[in-house]
Structure 1
Amino acid sequence: MTDSAASLARPTGPGAFDFLIGTWHVTNRRLREPLSGSGEWEEFPATANCRGTLFDGGANLDEIVFPTKDFSGLTLRLYDTERDEWSLTWVNNRIGRMSPSIVGRFGPNGVGEFHGEEIHQGASVRCRFIWSGITADSARWEQAFSRTGDGDWETNWIMDFRRTA
């Protein structure tokens, strides 16, 4: 099965995030100063661990540790059956407060797109997450910000996941 076929065969509702179950090496590329016009990126490692699925595939929780950044975080993902969409909520150990949820779904092409609001340098900005390239052993997550949400997206964080042996 090709990577493309693997993505197409994935569920879009409950179970859509089951691919994350397990332990992952994560390569992070993050824009040092989002929405500043700077093109300077930093790269750093992480390890992510998703311990399993909850609510028959309708919930998912993972923890990610950034050893060179001295922080960790977790993401709670919940599937809303009435709206047929997922909400993704992030918290890190530095702040200890849940961020606003980012909501969306996976399309028939296996790519997930999620939108919401984020606070960046004290101002509200539009935020977009994209999950793509999902196979048994790899996945990509991207975060982008926009001041308007009208197509002026600036990707500012990319995580490439590789399953551990």
Structure 2
Amino acid sequence: MSANDFDFFHGRWHVAHRKIADIPGRGTEWVEFGAETECRPILGGAANVESLRADGWEGMTLRQYDPEREVWRIWWASTRAPGHLDPPVEGRFEGDHGVFFGDDVVGGQAVKVRFDWTAGAEPVWQQQFSYDDGATWETNWIMRFSPVA
């Protein structure tokens, strides 16, 4: 684990999204859509910024490495929630797999959040929620990345 853990993600990517259509309602209908994203290093490589563009909305992610605690913190914001920055998730990589946890409120309900990153030539990100304090986890969003040629 180091400030270079997300170096694999720098650049431009096509994104195949698969997510639960109505997370606050804890729905079961999955929707699929495409997007484009670009990630670039900032702060001398100790952080990166990602901008994502999908049909009808935009999102951005800030990831920053804390060398003292050897953890990454990840924040998310999008045009779907103007003026709102989600609370960060925090965690680290072990080899090519990163796991990050945080707390949030979704649809008025407290929820634990988990991000799973699998690094590589075609990275995968998954988001899971736990409504029972981490006893069980429900996957609600998966993104598969392929490099823009």
User: Could you tell me the TM-score, scaled by structure 2's length?
Assistant: 0.92
SS of residue matched to 1:19: helix
1:104 & 1:91 partners in 2: Cα distance?
Answer: 19
- Verify the 8 A CA contact 2:25 2:107 in the aligned structure 1: no
Deviation at 1:35, TM superposition (A): 7.2
Distance in 2, matches of 1:125 and 1:37, equals 12
Tell me the SS of whatever aligns to 2:36.
Answer: strand
- Write the deviation string for residues 79-103 of structure 1: whole angstroms up to 9, x where unpaired: 0111100000001123132110000
Contact 2:96–2:120 under 8 Å retained in 1: no
Map 1:126-141 onto structure 2 (within 5 A): 126-132=112-118, 134-136=119-121, 138-141=122-125
Give 2:70's aligned amino acid. Answer: D
| Structure 2 equivalent of residue 19 of structure 1 | 8
Matched, 1:92 2:81: no
Q: Map Cα deviations across residues 11-44 of structure 1 (whole Å, 9 max, x no partner).
A: x210111111111000000012337564320001
Structure 1: unaligned runs, 5 residues or longer: 1-11
Higher strand share: 2
Aligned to 2:88: 101
Secondary structure of 2:63's match? strand
Q: Let me know the Cα RMSD of the aligned residues.
A: 1.5
Q: Are positions 1:147 and 2:131 aligned together?
A: yes
AA aligned to 2:117 is: W
Change (3 A) 1:37 1:65: closer
- Which one is further off, 109-118 or 29-38? 29-38
Q: Percent identity?
A: 37
Alignment of 1:4-15 (within 5 A): 12-15=1-4
CA distance in 2, matches of 1:127, 1:27: 21
Question: Any stretches of 5+ residues in structure 2 without a counterpart?
Answer: none
Alpha-carbon displacement from aligned partner over 1:19-75 (angstroms, at most 9, x marks no partner): 11111000000012337564320001110011x2123321000100111xx110100
| TM-score for both structures, normalised by structure 1 | 0.84
Counterpart code for 2:148: T
Question: Of 18, 41, 49, which aligns to 1:53?
Answer: 41
The Cα shift of 1:149 comes to 3.1
